[in-house]
Every structure is written in C-alpha cells, then in structure tokens.
Amino acid sequence: MSPLFVWAGRRGERVLAVPTPGHTVGHQSVVVGGSRDEVIITGDVLVHAVQLADPGVAYALENDQATARATRRALLRRAERADAVLATAHLHTPFVRSRPPR
C-alpha cells in the first residue's frame, strides 16, 4: 500500500492517504500516525464486524469483491503490525483494534 498523499509534521506526525480499492475503484483510507500511535480511518473497507474475524467476507455493494478481500487483509495486517486503532464508520464501535491490545 504505497501512499497517494503524505503529510509529515515536525514532531514525527504524519497523514497518509492510501489506496484501498474494492468497494469502489478510487477508494482510499487515511493513516494518521504519531511517534508511537497510529489510527487508520478505514472508510468502506470494513462494513461489518465479522470482517475483522474473517476479512474474506464480502458484501453485495463492493465493486470488486476479490480486490476488496485482498485490500481488507492487507489493511488489517498493517494495523496488526503497528498495533493501530481502526476508526470505522460502519461498526457498532467507532474505534476498534484488529486484535485485542497486548
């Protein structure tokens, strides 16, 4: 996931717009990071909590379900590696982790 846009602050903060296709062709998610913490604004990459447990679960409104599955897997792997918080628009809780905190 190479960023489409990068903003870097003086104290190590950064904002990245990353391509997350599948829901729509030009869909993007936003990664906001500081020196130790990262938040990923998922947009329509996650629309149901079951997709956290099984990112292969598709939904009818995805433009390209195979690409959406691959995108979800890649985004969740990134979140796990960074221990990032996911900011989600469609889940019952707006801020979740892709796994329980360590």
Which pLDDT does position 100 carry in this prediction?
56
Close Cβ partners of 10 (under 8 Å, ≥ 6 residues apart): none
pLDDT digits 0-9 by tens, 42-59: 999 999 999 999 999 999
Mean pLDDT value of segment 48-77: 94
- CATH code, residues 5-97: 3.60.15.10
Lowest mean pLDDT among 8-12, 27-31, 69-73: 8-12
Residue 17's pLDDT is what? Answer: 92
pTM assigned to the model: 0.85
Q: Which residue has the tokens 């846009």?
A: 5
Distance CA 86, CA 97 (A): 6
DSSP string over 1-46: ---SEEEE-TTS-EEEEEE-TTSSTT-EEEEEE-SS-EEEEEETS-
